[in-house]
Amino acid sequence: MPSPPSGMAWKLRFFGFPGLICACLSISVASVIRPVSDAHRSAALELFVPVDGSFRSLEEAYQALRTFQILGLERTYDISHATCPIISEILGSSSKPEDLFHALRVNSILGCQIGTQIFEDVASRLLVGIKEANSLMDFYYSVLSLFYIKQQGSSIVLLDADVIFDSIKAHGQSDGRYLSDSDNSEPSTHAAGIALETLAGVLSLADSDMDQSKIEVVKNDIVKLFDSIKSYDDGTLYFDEKRIGDTEYRGPLATTASVVHGVTAFAAIVSGKLEINGDKMAGLAKFFLSIGIPGRTNDIYIQLESLSCLENNRISIPLILSFPAAVLSLSSKDHLKADVTTVFGSAAPPLTVNLVQVFSLDSEDVPILENKELQFDPENSIHYLDLLPLKVDVGKYILFFEISLHDPDHLNIYATGGRIKAFFFFTGIIKADKAAVGIFDTDAENAVALQKLDLSRDNTVSLAANHLKKMHLNFQLLTPLGHTFKPHQVFLKLRHESKVEHIFALESSAGKYKVLLDFLGLVEKFYYLSGRYDIKLSVGDAAMENSFLRAIGHIDLDLPESPEKAARPPPQPIDPYLRFVPKQEISHIFTAPEKRPPEELSSAFLVLTLLPLVGFLIGLLHLGVNLKGFPSSSVPAFCSILFHGGIGAILLLYVFFWLKLDLFTTLEALGLLGVFLIFVGHRTLSHHASTPTKLKTT
């Protein structure tokens, strides 16, 4: 029995996430259906990341564990240390059935060490509570919780399973939908999926076989439920509900997932096969795959859980036809390739892929190609078709495929999806032919006067005209099969030497592109600017592999003088990248140094400046040093030594200033030395001033 859906799956008010809405709205235009791939695995690893060893809730923990289990990923973290105590606490207390349900399904994957007696106690409480259940969700939580306890090895039997079955079935309606509760609730397709899954759980826990007539009634309800399925024109199917008043709206994703879970669970437990067309199962699979890679944890869990139910159901296993590339190059001789797998990329049984019809989007009435069988490459397990012999031209096409199974017995196992619609885009080299340009006096062309152009390269045509002349330019574009090609963009650009540009769109006429520039009517548009205009032709289209912007040449225009009230050319925008170009080098001009005296005169002046210092030193040597007044006590003597040393430091500072120091550094050092000299000099002079007084006192 498949695992039940997330609690959040039926609590969503909106359609999951905004990108899903866009995907579903645009799927009828073009859809890219691919099976589950490594991109889903990478997304799951990025989305499901625990915080401090645990997730925010048991519901989110189950979504992570179940997603990793479906994708076959190994967990890079261990949440059992933080989660198992929570599970044990919930199971050991008188918790609500909803809390027990979340705890038991997390434990079914995590495998916490829970005693058998605890499971039996929980089962006893649930068996008592299920008899008092009224709402559909009460039955769902209780029955599915008992199912998980049974998976742990406990012996769980519903003795009154038929009564519970009837109580749940009483919520059903004639159209296959169900009521969430019996108190004025609206019928819901989403509730139908919940009911079917609950009924499957009751059947798995019943002590005896259920009355087959009751099961047949449920089977008929399922058929009625599928009558309300919605579809897109490419075969994608989904379930949705209308917004009614203030009722809770869950959107197509949650509603479709609920039905898929319920139907596949019920089909897995009953005998016989449900009467559901296999193509509908394939359409549901396409719906979930068309979502792409969801960006939210809840959405990717719902997507993968639903696809897992479809991958292993007893109704029909969907086969997915996917294409490695939907844009093919005719010039590169690309092959049309198709791959057929299950929704999770498992190999398909032996089959054949047929290209039934090919329609061009320009003419969808008559097919341009029919009934081509794709070849099979067993080495790469891919189906392919060579397009070159089929004479397919560039453009957009709608292709219809059909899958044929080789073994007739596989028709009861697999769903091929019927006729499959796909959009393809073929590109190629477009030939520019019969290009010519010329200047004439009238609208009529003279083929002799036209100058031929080669649009495969730049041209250097030189033209001259005044305001009474007209310029003619024409060419044609041909596809690889020689058909006329009409690109999305064809522009002619004239650029004046003052950088003023004028752009003209070219229109197709009789398979050719022509432009006639009447300069008399364009003088105001050209702002009466005479001079040289560079001419360029731009042709571009998504189907063109050789879109181009070609230089045609230039034209020298002689236009009349501008009237006083004529419009002036608009100011040209300044290129923002000009701010990053190298700036012009700035040449600095300094004041010329003044004329200096001769070197001999400067040297003589230096000697004369030093003579007083020399005389002072000689005088000191002749007179001798008088140390009689030097203090004898320790503190005054130390201050005197520092005072004389400070004076010497100042003299040395003057020498360094002369040799290398600048004025600011010298003044800074001189200020520090000055403060120091004031302090030690004051102590020294105070001592010398007090000495005579002491002698007189003695």
Q: What tens digit of pLDDT does each residue of 133-162 get?
A: 888 999 999 999 999 999 888 888 888 899
pLDDT band per the 50, 70, 90 thresholds, residue 441: confident
- Check residue 628 and give its pLDDT: 66
Sheet containing 531-540, strands listed edge to edge, beginning at the edge strand earlier in sequence? 461-466, 548-558, 531-540, 489-496, 501-505
More confident residue, 22 or 281: 281
DSSP of 309-361? HHHT-SS-EE-EEE-S-SEEETTTTPEEEEEEE-TT-PBPPSEEEEEEEEEET
CA torsion, ordered 267, 406, 390, 361, to nearest 10 deg:
-10
pLDDT above 70 for 51: yes
Phi, psi dihedrals of residue 509, rounded to the nearest 5°: -145, 120
Q: Rg (Cα) of the chain, in Å, rounded?
A: 47
> pLDDT (tens digit, 9 = 90+) per residue, 309-331?
999 999 999 999 999 999 999 99
| Distance of alpha carbon 559 from alpha carbon 555, whole angstroms | 12
Q: How many Cβ atoms are within 10 Å of 221's Cβ, its own excluded?
A: 21
- pLDDT band with cut points at 50, 70 and 90 for residue 581: confident
Any idea which of 282-296, 511-525, 612-626, 638-652 has the lowest mean pLDDT?
612-626
Region of poorest pLDDT, from 32-41, 630-639, 669-678: 630-639
Pick from 297, 97, 274: nearest CA to 200 = 274
Report field, pTM of the whole predicted structure over 0.75: no
Beta partners for residue 360, in sequence order: 363, 397
Stated as kind and residue range, the H or E segment containing 26 is: helix 18-26
63 burial class (0-12, 13-18, 19+ CB within 10 angstroms)? buried
Can you tell me the distance from the alpha carbon of 205 to that of 144, in angstroms, rounded to the nearest whole number?
A: 10
Q: 289 pLDDT exceeds 60?
A: yes
Give the strand pairing for 489-496 and 507-509: unpaired
- What confidence tens digit (pLDDT) does each residue in 230-288 have? 998 888 999 998 776 556 778 899 999 999 999 999 999 998 889 999 999 999 999 99
Q: In what order do the strands lie in the sheet with 507-509?
A: 451-453, 431-440, 470-478, 512-518, 507-509
CA distance 436 to 54: 73
Return the pLDDT at 273: 87
Q: How large is the average pLDDT for residues 561-584?
A: 83
pLDDT band at 22 (very low <50, low <70, confident <90, very high): very low
pLDDT at 99 exceeding the cut of 60: yes
Across the chain, what does the average pLDDT equal? 87
d(CA 264, CA 361): 39
Nearest to 148 by CA among 295, 1, 24: 1
pLDDT at 8 over 60: no
Given the structure tokens 């044990």, which residue do they identify?
88
d(CA 668, CA 279): 94
Percentage, residues of the chain above pLDDT 70: 92
Residue with tokens 């003419």: 363
Predicted confidence at residue 320, as pLDDT, reads 95
Q: How far apart are CA 647 and CA 39, in angstroms?
A: 83
* pLDDT band, residue 606 (cuts 50/70/90): confident
